[in-house]
Amino acid sequence: MDENLETMLNHIPSDELLKLDNQLCFALYVCSKEIIRKYKPLLDPLGLTYTSYITLLALWEEDNINVKDLGHRLYLDSGTLTPLLKKMETSGWIKRKRSVEDERNVFISLTEEGFALKEKASSIPRSLICSIPFEQGEGNAFDIIQSLHQLMHTITE
Amino acid sequence: MDENLETMLNHIPSDELLKLDNQLCFALYVCSKEIIRKYKPLLDPLGLTYTSYITLLALWEEDNINVKDLGHRLYLDSGTLTPLLKKMETSGWIKRKRSVEDERNVFISLTEEGFALKEKASSIPRSLICSIPFEQGEGNAFDIIQSLHQLMHTITE
DNA sequence: ATTTATTAAATTGAATCCAATTCAATTGAC
DNA sequence: GTCAATTGAATTGGATTCAATTTAATAAAT
């Protein structure tokens, strides 16, 4: 079995390759949506959406970062981030401040409230993982995360 | 190492659990978005979006299905499907027909054009998998799909 | 120095998605 | 048979996302 992937694929009929359950994209898409849905009841009480949550996760690790770098970290562009960050500023969790050295840059920093939210959010990852009834012996969350990161880097070069 | 997951989690500091790269949701979310982006150049020439593509995949497997069952298959609700299916009808790929036995049901069936599109789409899965430079020895697309399906079922009960 | 190119954010427009509600048809309870 | 509950689609409203464009600031080229 030392044929390469391409050769291997040519031995699989197109009909099989077109089945919904054989699409990597569909499996990712469904898992992503469904797991994000699971966060909702945990985030709602904090007034957070999924996107504002991951933005805070990024800022709790690295504060005072410009929109470009934040977007690079979160795989989001300014079209998504600008309105989100404006809302988060209104909510009082972050400040947006244009750089004086280079006025093209807008730096995002946490407010006291934004930083304090970390405490309240600290139970979320545990709650979430525990809410997923992983089978014994089945690859657990950590294993899957690792595979996905490998995939993520493979996809995005 | 026969402690359960919950006990294990309690030995990991909250700070570690709150890191962006340790979130299962974020890894899924990024992989999902990035891989869907990779489809765009393949789908654009056929006039398909990602959502209409997976809808056709479902219909090529099972034609003449009502909106509810289609939604169940695709993990989408009528709020998403109704406008999508109307557009796909306008494009000439499907027909929507209200059932006479039970007028609450709308059945979706492929037109000749919709069925014929399957030929043109048949190269897409191969093109896509080949466009991802999987490392030797790394889990390949098929392995990941399998893990994700397990996860999908675990998440959605 | 002036012009050109590049960069970072912001804006615009289209598509997607979900949650909640509405509406019509059907089923069930009595 | 009538009223209430349920069901399947459709609708509405809000949020998210990306692609493409615009604007302003800076850097580079000549």
B31-58, pLDDT tens digit by residue?
Answer: 999 999 999 999 999 999 999 999 999 9
* SS3 call for A157: coil
CA dihedral B101, B103, B107, B113 (to 10 degrees): 100
Would the Cβ of B79 be found within 7 angstroms of any atom in strand D?
Answer: yes
What is the pLDDT, as a whole number, of residue A141?
73
Contact A145 B24 (CB under 8 A): yes
The verdict on a CB contact (< 8 Å) between B148 and A31 is yes
pLDDT of residue B50: 94
Q: Write out chain B residues lying below 8 Å of A149, CB-based.
A: 21, 27
CA distance A141 to chain B (A): 7
For the segment B53-106, what is each residue's pLDDT rounded down to a tens digit? 999 999 999 999 999 999 999 999 999 999 999 999 999 999 999 999 999 999
Which residue, among A28, A35, A7, has the nearest Cα to B34 in the 3D structure?
A: A28
Whether residue A108 contacts residue A67, with contact meaning beta carbons closer than 8 Å, is answered with yes
CB < 8 Å to B139, chain A: 147, 150
Q: Reply yes or no on whether the pLDDT at B138 is more than 60.
A: no
Nucleotide nearest to A104 (CA to C1'): C8
Residues 112-131 of chain A whose Cβ lies under 8 A from any Cβ of chain B = 118, 121-126, 128-130
pTM (2 d.p.)? 0.90
Contact of B108 with B70, CB cutoff 8 Å: yes
Bases on strand C under 7 Å from any protein CB: 7-13, 15-20, 24-27
Given a cut of 60, whether residue A64 has pLDDT beyond it is yes
Who wins on pLDDT, A153 or A89? A89
Q: Considering only residues 80 to 109 of chain A, which have any Cβ-Cβ distance to chain B shorter than 8 Å?
A: none
Question: What is d(CA A94, CA B57) in angstroms, rounded to the nearest whole number?
Answer: 43
* Angstrom distance, B75 CA to C27 C1': 27
Q: Which nucleotide is nearest to B68 (CA to C1')?
A: D8
Q: How many CB pairs (< 8 A) connect A and B?
A: 195
Q: Which residues pair with B132 in a beta bridge?
A: none
pLDDT more than 90, % of chain A? 66
